[in-house]
Amino acid sequence: MKKGLLVVSFGTSCAETRALTIEALERDLAAAYPERKFFRAWTSGFIRKKLKASEGLSIDSVPEAMERILADGVTDLLVQPTHMMAGEEFSSVIDDIKAFRERFSSVSLGEPLLASSDDINLLAKALEQIFSSVGEDEMLALMGHGSSAVKENPYEKLNEVFAQDGFERFRVGTVEFEPGFAPILDAARLRRPERIHLAPLMVVAGDHALNDMAGDEEDSWSSRLKTEGFEVISVLKGMGEYASVREMYVSHANEAKLI
């Protein structure tokens, strides 16, 4: 039985962060499963098309990757997404994989990063360590993407865990959907920190981090906080750059369930 590993990401058009995040995740997952042949797929058609035009780089969609994997003779497939949560993109991955299920002997699927309360607690502890240099008189504002397709908002849960752990100076907001920028602005006005560190709570530090978070436009998080009189420092590192976060994805792959 020939075994395969498919790592599925949303994708990014930023080459530098791609190498530091998505490709780092792919390397760690491939190293964890040396007996499986590695394949990749990206779910964003817009980004795949953009990279094809700008770099001549062809990256498969999930259906394209599944056809390629079958043509290679793989019968036992492990699929691990690098998405942050079980939102619309993850649901699309499940639908695409199920359409091919009967053509494989075995297909297993790992969870996205924040799939359970345990995941939220683990990520909170990892972030508390990663950003331990943020002082008591400072604040860390993390930018998540947000989704309308999740029943329980993991970002709100992260804020609760940070507070329980004594890290009230750490707050999570989102660029889209709930809870938005409000938790960040409310906490900043209440705490009046000496400075605010901004960081993306996303696998890659892509367009949202560069523009919506750290950009010079008046509606970016950085500009809005500076308008309030705060000193702002932007940390342009995606979650995929941190080994402790990548280890969580490998753990999810280890716990993958048959579909």
What is the second-level CATH architecture of the domain 3-113+242-258?
Answer: 3-Layer(aba) Sandwich (3.40)
Model pLDDT, residue 149: 62
Residue type, 25: L
| Domain residue ranges of the chain, discontinuous segments joined by + | 3-113+242-258, 117-239
Q: How far is residue 41's CA from residue 204's CA, in Å, rounded to a whole number?
A: 16
| Residues 128-144 pLDDT 10s | 999 999 999 999 999 99
Tokens, residue 8: 């599925």
Which is catalytic among the residues 83, 145, 208, 252? 145
| Residues 85-130 pLDDT 10s | 998 889 999 999 999 999 999 999 999 999 999 999 999 999 999 9
Mean pLDDT across 218-232? 97
**Identical fold between 3-113+242-258 and 117-239:** yes
| Residues 151-202 pLDDT 10s | 678 999 999 999 999 999 999 999 988 889 998 999 999 999 999 999 999 9
Cis peptide bond N-terminal to 81, omega within 30 = no
**Ramachandran class of 229: left when φ > 0, alpha when ψ lies in -120 to 50, beta otherwise:** left
Percent of the chain predicted with pLDDT > 70: 99
Q: How far is residue 188's CA from residue 2's CA, in Å, rounded to a whole number?
A: 54
Q: Which residues make Cβ contacts (< 8 Å) with residue 164, sequence separation at least 6? A: none
Q: How far is residue 78's CA from residue 225's CA, in Å, rounded to a whole number?
A: 43
Tokens, residue 46: 């817009």
Model pLDDT, residue 215: 96
Specify the 3-state DSSP secondary structure of 239: helix
Choosing among 3.40.50.1400, 3.60.21.10, 3.30.360.10, 3.30.70.2340, the CATH entry for 117-239 is 3.40.50.1400
**Does the annotation mark 208 as catalytic?**
no
For the entire predicted model, the pTM comes to 0.95
Q: How far is residue 77's CA from residue 180's CA, in Å, rounded to a whole number?
A: 37
Q: Which residue has the tokens 């969609």?
A: 61
Tokens, residue 55: 């770099």
CB 21 within 8 Å of CB 205: yes
C-alpha distance from residue 97 to each of 5, 85, 92, 108, 259 (Å): 13, 17, 9, 10, 9
| Residues 38-52 pLDDT 10s | 999 999 999 999 999
| Sign of the torsion angle spanned by Cα atoms 215, 220, 222, 226 | positive
Q: How far is residue 130's CA from residue 202's CA, in Å, rounded to a whole number?
A: 14
Tokens, residue 87: 């939102």
Per-residue confidence at 238, pLDDT binned at 50, 70, 90?
very high
